[in-house]
Chain A
Amino acid sequence: MIQTENLTRKFGELVAVEDLSLQVGAGEVFGFLGPNGAGKTTTVRMLTCLIAPTSGTAIVNGYRVGKEDKHIRRTVGLLTESPGLYDGLSVEHNLRIYANLYEVRDPAKQVEKYLRMLDLWDRRHDPAATLSKGMKQKLAIARALLHEPRVLFLDEPTASLDPEAAHMVREFIAGLRKEGRTIFLCTHNLDEADRLCDRIAVFKTRLLALDTPANLRSRVFGRKVVFHLRQADGAMAEAVRKMPFVKDVQVIDHKLLVALDDPERHNPEIIRLLVGLGADVQFVGELRRSLEDVYLQLVKNA
Chain B
Amino acid sequence: MTKIKTIILKEWAEVFKNRFVLFTVIFMPLFFTVLALVLLFLTRAAGTGDISSPTPDAFFRACPEGLTAEECLQIYFVSQFMLLFLLTPLIIPVNIAAYSIVGEKTTRSLEPLLATPITTLELLAGKNLAAAIPAVLATWASFLLYALGANLLLDNPRVVAALFDPKWWLAIAVVGPLLSILSVNFSLMVSSRVNDPRVAEQLSAVVILPLLLLFFGQLAGWIFLSPRLVVILALILVVLDALMVFLATRLFQRETILTRWR
Interface, chain A (partner B; CB < 8 A): 11, 45, 48-52, 70, 73-74, 76, 78, 80, 82-89, 93, 97-98, 100-103, 140, 143-144
Cβ-based interface call for B116 (8 A): yes
Cβ-based interface call for B229 (8 A): no
A48 in contact with B115 (CB, 8 Å): yes
Known contacts A70-B119, A84-B110; 17 further A-B pairs (Cβ under 8 A):
A50-B111, A73-B116, A74-B117, A76-B115, A80-B108, A82-B108, A84-B112, A84-B113, A85-B107, A86-B107, A86-B109, A87-B107, A88-B13, A98-B112, A101-B3, A102-B117, A144-B112
A101 in contact with B118 (CB, 8 Å): yes
Say how far A76's CB is from chain B's closest CB, in angstroms.
8
Given A52-B255, A93-B13, are A78 and B115 neighbors across the interface (CB < 8 Å)? yes
Cβ-based interface call for B258 (8 A): yes
Say how far A92's CB is from chain B's closest CB, in angstroms.
12
Q: Can you report 27 residue pairs joining A to B where beta carbons are below 8 Å apart?
A: A45-B258, A49-B115, A50-B111, A50-B254, A70-B117, A70-B119, A73-B116, A76-B115, A80-B111, A80-B112, A80-B115, A83-B112, A84-B110, A85-B107, A85-B109, A86-B107, A86-B109, A88-B14, A93-B13, A98-B116, A100-B2, A101-B113, A101-B116, A101-B117, A103-B2, A103-B3, A140-B112
Q: How many residues of B contact A (CB 8 A)?
A: 24
Cβ-based interface call for B259 (8 A): yes
0/1 per residue, B10-31, Cβ < 8 Å to A?
A: 1001100100000000000000
B108 CB contacts on chain A under 8 angstroms: 80, 82, 84
Interchain CA distance A47-B117 in the complex, whole Å: 14
A102 in contact with B116 (CB, 8 Å): yes
B151 CB contacts on chain A under 8 angstroms: none
B255 in contact with A89 (CB, 8 Å): no
Closest A residue to B122 by beta carbon equals: A101
Say how far A265's CB is from chain B's closest CB, in angstroms.
49
B110 CB contacts on chain A under 8 angstroms: 84
Cβ-based interface call for B114 (8 A): yes
Given A51-B259, A84-B107, are A100 and B14 neighbors across the interface (CB < 8 Å)? no
B113 CB contacts on chain A under 8 angstroms: 84, 101
Quick one: which of A48, A52, A88, A102 has the most chain B CB within 10 A? A88
A100 CB contacts on chain B under 8 angstroms: 2-3, 6
Closest B residue to A70 by beta carbon equals: B117
Given A45-B258, A52-B255, A87-B107, are A97 and B10 neighbors across the interface (CB < 8 Å)? yes
Interchain CA distance A74-B117 in the complex, whole Å: 6
Name the contact of A50 in the complex, choosing from B17, B117, B255 (C-beta under 8 A): B255
Say how far A200's CB is from chain B's closest CB, in angstroms.
24
Say how far B85's CB is from chain A's closest CB, in angstroms.
31
Closest A residue to B13 by beta carbon equals: A89
A87 CB contacts on chain B under 8 angstroms: 107
